[in-house]
Structure 1
Amino acid sequence: MDFPLDCLYLIFERLDSDSDRKSFGLTCHRWLDVESSSRRSLELNCLIDVPSKSYKTSIGYQICRLLLRFRHLRSFTLTGWSELTDSDLALLALCSSTLQALHIWCSSTITDSGMSFIASVLPSLSIITFAASHVTDTGLYILTRTCTGLKDINLSGCRDITDLGISYLIMNCRQLQSLRVSCCSNITGLGFKDCWKTLTCLEVESCNLFPEGIKEILSGGALEYLNLSFYTGMHADGMTFIGRGQASRLRVLDLRKCKLVGDETVAVIAKGCIFLQEWHLGFCLRIGLPGWESIGLNCQSLERLHVNRCTKLCVVGMQALRDGCQRLSILYTGTPNSRLSLLAREVFQSKPNVELSNDEVKRIIPEEAFFTL
């Protein structure tokens, strides 16, 4: 009890073990206060969805208690709470002075009213996630008109969002660096017109993009990470925009299961995106020898390449990758006993610095891709 508070804070900050940090507050109330005020992130997950029978078991009551205890949070995550209401979000005012990141996952009861509460109590947010909610373009307008400092936004699975909502993001959030709008079927890409040069990371997986929409997505010219997997467009023309100058800074490109990607598309991208370090072409069944030769000839910076289930990849194509991609360190080929894996092992055995991975990677996101606190 004679320890000054600053000494206790120094001790707590230097604890490396999670179990030690969690046990710190069990010593006494004074040590508990130090632990609580030092907490910077909190996750509240609903593992079993059981309707609350009283106010003391409701999600609103739990949020209130937690935020009263942890008054200096910078990041707060809520996952899977079907009983979470828009009005519960007003409780975030308890940590409004410090909170910078808010993540709400799979809470389908959140609507545009929830955005109003957040905009009113957390105007200084930098990161926000509203995955699989019923937020609409109106809610995005309300949020972005106030929270203009947003740098990372995740709206994956918000099926009511259209290009109009995206235009609000582009217009109001001038510091936007990362955006995820995967599985938003009403997005065609046209809302990205006049995209800011700050946007470096974008996920538009499984969206109904127009060719002109892809052109608008690239209009900012600053993208370094782009996920266009499961592209459902009717024409491959939109893909060729990637290699026509505005995506020259790309480092990571995910075109997994894009059925229209063929030799011509791959050749244009390989010539225009010479700084690519990772390229996912898994399940792209139309790529033949000319496409693989283009990659070997032009992608001198390529370090990781995904070719699992690429049935047209032959011995000559594999040799072109081996001889051309001098920095290649990992080649993802799929299941270990597949024809492709056996072929790669035979061709690349003379190049021991290349790892042949059997992992069928479904998602490629470099650690530095999205904004973190």
Structure 2
Amino acid sequence: MSSVCVNEALTDDELRWVLSRLDSDKEKEVFGLVCKRWLTLQSTDRKKLAARAGPHMLRRLASRFTQIVELDLSQSISRSFYPGVTDSDLAVISEGFKCLRVLNLHNCKGITDTGLASIGRCLSLLQFLDVSYCRKLSDKGLSAVAEGCHDLRALHLAGCRFITDESLKSLSERCRDLEALGLQGCSSITDSGLADLVKGCRKIKSLDINKCSNVGDAGVSSVAKACGSSLKTLKLLDCYKVGNESVLSLAQSCKNLETLILGGCRDISDESIMLLADSCKDSLKNLRMDWCLNISDSSLSCILKKCKNLEALDIGCCEEITDTAFRDLGSDDFLGLKVLKVSNCSKITVTGISKLLEKCSFLEYLDVRSLPQVTEIRCSEAGLEFPKCCKVNFSGSLTEPDFLL
């Protein structure tokens, strides 16, 4: 039999089908090493790209990878000394990667409003943009993005301290399909800005306003009422102006809430938390209430009894919590908790932890730091048996990963 060359026997579409059947990125890279034709097919088929490159290399990448929809140019904190992507780079990206839907510029400190103007002018298909910790950005740049990227679904602005309510108004007017917004540390955001945001953006599923110290009950209530059917994640860490009115609004309007972070909201008390537990008993999965100093056994017991789908709970530094909250659990109350943090709850003893373990067979992480009556020795003496896969933190570092942030 005469030999048959694969390239003569198979069309481009057939080779693309072969490429699509490869599972790993490594296998797809090897595919491109066979010959120039296969490399061209592999390049034009590629959808994702992560790179660190200047304007010249970015132009070459754009000409080679013509169908890229996801571009990751983010920087890790360890490279924080390096500015990363610059405005001139963004001009090349905006002109060369016209199909982009996802652009990650996290921690690229060299970007200014001029670079964002290029994005707004050229990348009309963009749906996801992360410019967290790009600290030179202001409302002018974000308004340009909102003006040109009407299909934006997720926007992350953590650490962009010059962003004000004006940006939220622009998003409300032009990006009505927005579903996720991260504003952590944007301390100029106020209740008025949130009220403007939800006049147009009523599909928000995730809102992060951690450390937005000028947000209070009025702003959270506006979000709860406007986005009640869609909101699943709300983060309010250290929003010290947030109190019971916010939680009551969430209980009344947001029946599908899955993740709620209230750490540091010190004015919240049992009554509102109990109403929230009853309203969101079927949906709530993650709840953080550390430093909510008015929380007591009554609300914790209510949460444990009603929220059967709860997977992660942080009640650290809630000094009024005692063993009673765990002793109130009945014979039918089995918990699906995987993460529990009770650090600095000084009134909890080995007895309470023992009762808890009877109900939590799926526990993966238990934080009992700074509990004077719960030490490794005392737990051993009491014969406590933790689930095999459970990490128990008796005295670990305060820099342990935060499962609820």
What is the number of equivalent residue pairs in this alignment?
359
Distance in 2 between residues matched to 1:82 and 1:126, nearest whole Å? 23
Give the match for residue 236 of structure 2. 204
Give deviations 1:140-169, integer Å, cap 9, x for gaps: 011122111111111111111111222233
1:229 counterpart = 2:263 = yes
Match of 2:112 among 85, 94, 102: 85
Letter in 2 for 1:73: L
Distance in 1 between residues matched to 2:330 and 2:386, nearest whole Å? 15
- Mapping of residues 302-321 of structure 1, within 5 Å: 302-304=336-338, 305-321=340-356
Distance in 2 between residues matched to 1:346 and 1:328, nearest whole Å? 23
Give the match for residue 369 of structure 1. none
> Does the Cα contact within 8 Å between 2:74 and 2:105 map onto a contact in 1?
yes
Give the match for residue 363 of structure 1. 402
> Does the Cα contact within 8 Å between 1:270 and 1:298 map onto a contact in 2?
no
Give the match for residue 4 of structure 2. none
Give deviations 1:273-308, integer Å, cap 9, x for gaps: 344232122333331122232457785333222233
Give the match for residue 190 of structure 1. 218
Counterparts in 2 of 1:215 and 1:335: CA distance versus 1, 3 Å: closer
CA-CA distance at 1:77 after TM superposition: 0.8
Give the match for residue 69 of structure 2. 40
Counterparts in 2 of 1:345 and 1:157: CA distance versus 1, 3 Å: farther
SS in 2 for 1:105: coil
> Does the Cα contact within 8 Å between 1:243 and 1:271 map onto a contact in 2?
no
Match of 2:287 among 245, 253, 261: 253
The structure that has the greater radius of gyration is: 2
Distance in 2 between residues matched to 1:239 and 1:298, nearest whole Å? 22
Distance in 1 between residues matched to 2:313 and 2:168, nearest whole Å? 32
1:136 counterpart = 2:164 = yes
Counterparts in 2 of 1:335 and 1:268: CA distance versus 1, 3 Å: closer
Letter in 2 for 1:60: D
Match of 1:6 among 13, 16, 20: 13
Give the match for residue 149 of structure 2. 122
Give the match for residue 30 of structure 1. 40
Distance in 2 between residues matched to 1:311 and 1:341, nearest whole Å? 15
> Does the Cα contact within 8 Å between 1:348 and 1:354 map onto a contact in 2?
no
Distance in 1 between residues matched to 2:380 and 2:67, nearest whole Å? 51
Q: What root-mean-square deviation, in Å, do the aligned CA atoms of Structure 1 and Structure 2 show?
A: 3.4
Letter in 1 for 2:40: R
Give the match for residue 155 of structure 1. 183
Specify every segment of 5 or more residues in structure 2 that has no aligned partner in the other structure, as ranges. 1-6, 47-64
Give deviations 1:83-104, integer Å, cap 9, x for gaps: 322231132243323x211111
SS in 1 for 2:66: helix
Fraction of identical pairs, as percent: 24
Bigger relative contact order, structure 1 or 2 (CA pairs below 8 A, ≥6 apart): 1
Match of 1:289 among 312, 318, 323: 323
Letter in 1 for 2:13: D
Specify every segment of 5 or more residues in structure 1 that has no aligned partner in the other structure, as ranges. 52-56, 367-373
Give deviations 1:115-144, integer Å, cap 9, x for gaps: 221111110111111111122112101112
Give the match for residue 217 of structure 1. 250
Distance in 1 between residues matched to 2:344 and 2:100, nearest whole Å? 45
Give the match for residue 91 of structure 2. 64
Distance in 2 between residues matched to 1:21 and 1:71, nearest whole Å? 23
SS in 1 for 2:279: coil
| TM-score normalised according to structure 1 size | 0.81
1:95 counterpart = 2:95 = no
Give the match for residue 195 of structure 2. 167
